[in-house]
Amino acid sequence: MSELRRFRMTALAEGSSFLILLFIAMPMKYVMGMPKVVTVVGAIHGILFLLYVAQLGKLRVAYQWDNTFSFYAFLASLLPFGPFVFDKRLHAKEVATTVNSNQ
């Protein structure tokens, strides 16, 4: 599995955990009085976020991504649904990298 594919999978997992935190865990905390759910989901999301940022830094150097692309990749991780929208660009990078390496 390529580094870009691993990063895309991490991005989608991080984005999913963020949505679960916002739309499932937070309502469970405030509506149902179950604060432990936010603790668990928040910890999982935090780990995935740190993994995302670490992989972003590594790929930025390895693939010589410019500041703008790297900034948008980071910004995507901060916005709900951001990683899913940004995945289209990551997929294009992955395809371009695969095509270039096969030639």
What does the pLDDT read at residue 75? Answer: 98
> If you write DSSP's letter for every residue of the chain in order, what string do you get?
--HHHHHHHHHHHHHHHHHHIIIIIHHHHHHH--HHHHHHHHHHHHHHHHHHHHHHHHHHHHTT--HHHHHHHHHHHHSTTHHHHHHHHHHHHHHHHHHHHH-
Q: What range does the domain containing 55 cover?
A: 3-102
Total domains present in the chain: 1
pTM of the complete model: 0.92
Question: Tens of pLDDT along the chain (103 residues)?
Answer: 899 999 999 999 999 999 999 999 999 999 999 999 999 999 999 999 999 999 999 999 999 999 999 999 999 999 999 999 999 999 999 998 887 777 6
At 87 the pLDDT is 97
C-beta separation of 4 from 93 below 8 A: yes
Residue 103: per-residue pLDDT: 67
